[in-house]
């Protein structure tokens, strides 16, 4: 059976589809798995051994559609479920299953503060999409595969961090999902363990500002490494402190303990660190009781209420206390 899986973006959302990929490949006899995503996210799945071929969304829609038609798919698994995927499925004219995005429930939570979200992780909802194929959750959690040539050599990080470090992910796609720099500085100043800051090129300046407070303890890796190299730094860490972002899910794929910090988004959207059936230490930090939260299902470039209490009121001392406890117990 030739199957096309569609998920255009973004890093975390794509990583969260990996159990579907693996379970389809392992449980459907003769399954040939193709994956369609945006070219910008090609590195996320490039080394995934369960995928036979990739296609990328580009500006030439007609060419892409024709190329996909030539594949003569037996089935399309739509894990993005938007207007573009509907247009594509109509053009391909093959059987398809679509992931329910629960947009109405999310809208009600964001705009009316009425929580009708099901108490089920998005991974399990993704897997529910392929239930008609008799595919079941194998409980192994998420996958992330790093090519050998993108592993970080030991001499590329400070000698002081080689024996063990905590990875702190300071980046996120939207500002309202990130703690302000001064709060991260407070967090780092109270930590006793070596720290590596992770994020993209857009986070480099903030990383330098944070690292300048203690250049021995804090190493700013933001913008210095590729996505896969950053993933390798996550894999080699003792544990991870992260906002609601892609590297948080990559950390879960490596079964790393995660302290997740939530701003305008909420764990109730079903996107907390996912480990399958394996017990792994994890902790969620969010400021509860705010009438304005969640203010968006994605995020904003600044707080709509201008007070940013969801991040300004984070309990840094509690986070530090837990991090100290984990530093002693996790090897």
All domains of the chain in start order, with CATH: 2-133 (3.40.50.2000), 159-329 (3.40.50.2000)
3-state SS assignment for residue 6: strand
Q: How much is the pTM?
A: 0.97
User: pLDDT digits over 168-191, tens only?
Assistant: 999 999 999 999 999 999 999 999
CA contacts within 13 A on the Cβ side of 17: 28
User: pLDDT digits over 113-166, tens only?
Assistant: 999 999 999 999 999 999 999 999 999 999 999 999 999 999 999 999 999 999
**DSSP β-ladder status, 166-169 and 75-78:** unpaired
If pLDDT is split at 50, 70 and 90, which confidence band does 331 have? confident
If pLDDT is split at 50, 70 and 90, which confidence band does 33 have? very high
Residues 6+ apart with CB under 8 A from 119: none
Q: Which pLDDT value is given to residue 324?
A: 96
Other CB atoms within 10 A of residue 39 CB:
10
Instruction: Give the DSSP per-residue string, 239-302.
Output: -EEEESSHHHHHHHHTT--EEEEESSS-GGGS-S---TTS---EEEEE-TT-TT----SS--SS
């Amino acid at each position: 059976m030739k199957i096309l899986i569609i998920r255009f973006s973004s890093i975390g959302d794509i990583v969260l589809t990996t159990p579907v990929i693996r379970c389809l490949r392992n449980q459907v006899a003769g399954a040939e798995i193709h994956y369609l995503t945006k070219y910008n996210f090609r590195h996320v799945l490039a080394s995934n051994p369960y995928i036979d071929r990739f296609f990328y969304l580009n500006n030439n829609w007609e060419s892409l559609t024709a190329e996909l038609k030539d594949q003569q798919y037996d089935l399309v698994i739509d894990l993005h479920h938007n207007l573009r995927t509907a247009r594509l499925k109509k053009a391909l004219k093959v059987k398809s299953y679509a992931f329910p995005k629960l947009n109405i429930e999310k809208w009600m939570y964001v705009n009316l503060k009425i929580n009708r979200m099901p108490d089920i992780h998005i991974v399990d909802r993704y897997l529910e999409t392929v239930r008609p194929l008799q595919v079941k959750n194998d409980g192994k959690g998420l996958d992330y595969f790093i090519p050998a040539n993108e592993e970080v050599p030991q001499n590329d990080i400070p000698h002081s961090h080689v024996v063990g470090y905590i990875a702190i992910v300071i980046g996120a796609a939207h500002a309202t999902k990130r703690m302000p720099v001064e709060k991260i500085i407070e967090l780092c100043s109270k930590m006793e363990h070596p720290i590596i800051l992770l994020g993209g090129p857009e986070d480099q300046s903030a990383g330098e500002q944070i690292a300048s407070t203690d250049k021995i303890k804090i190493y700013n890796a933001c913008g210095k490494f590729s996505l896969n190299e950053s993933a390798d730094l996550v894999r080699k860490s003792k544990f991870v402190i992260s906002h609601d972002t892609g590297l948080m899910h990559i950390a879960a794929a490596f079964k790393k303990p995660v302290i997740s910090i939530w701003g305008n988004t909420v764990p109730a959207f079903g996107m907390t660190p996912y480990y399958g059936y394996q017990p792994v230490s994890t902790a969620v930090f969010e400021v509860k009781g705010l009438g304005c939260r969640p203010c968006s299902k994605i995020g904003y470039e600044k707080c709509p209420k201008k007070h940013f209490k969801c991040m300004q009121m984070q309990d840094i001392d509690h986070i530090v206390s837990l991090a100290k406890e984990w530093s002693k117990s996790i090897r």
